[in-house]
A = this chain, B = another copy of it.
């Protein structure tokens, strides 16, 4: 079973990488008013039940993939 986790800097948290992307895009002539950069983590799991897989992945987010003080996360489970 496959899962995708999106980890993003929370609103109000400084995001220097996003600022750099915004500046670089402006220099290239693009009209962008905000850019934020986070991580996407694609996982291949042994779990076969979608509900169980989601529980496992949420736990991975809390324990390793995201810093809950500064980052929010979103979990998608694929069939």
Interface residues of A (CB under 8 A from B): 6-8, 18, 21, 24-25, 28, 30-47, 56, 59-60, 63-65
Contacts and interface: CB of A to CB of B under 8 A. Distances in A.
Contacts of A39: 37-40
Contacts of A64: 21, 24-25, 28
B38 A32 contact: no
Question: What's the number of copies of this chain in the assembled complex?
Answer: 2
6 contacts: A18-B41, A28-B63, A30-B60, A31-B45, A32-B43, A34-B43
A18 B64 CA distance: 13
Contacts of A40: 6-8, 37-40
A53 B46 CA distance: 39
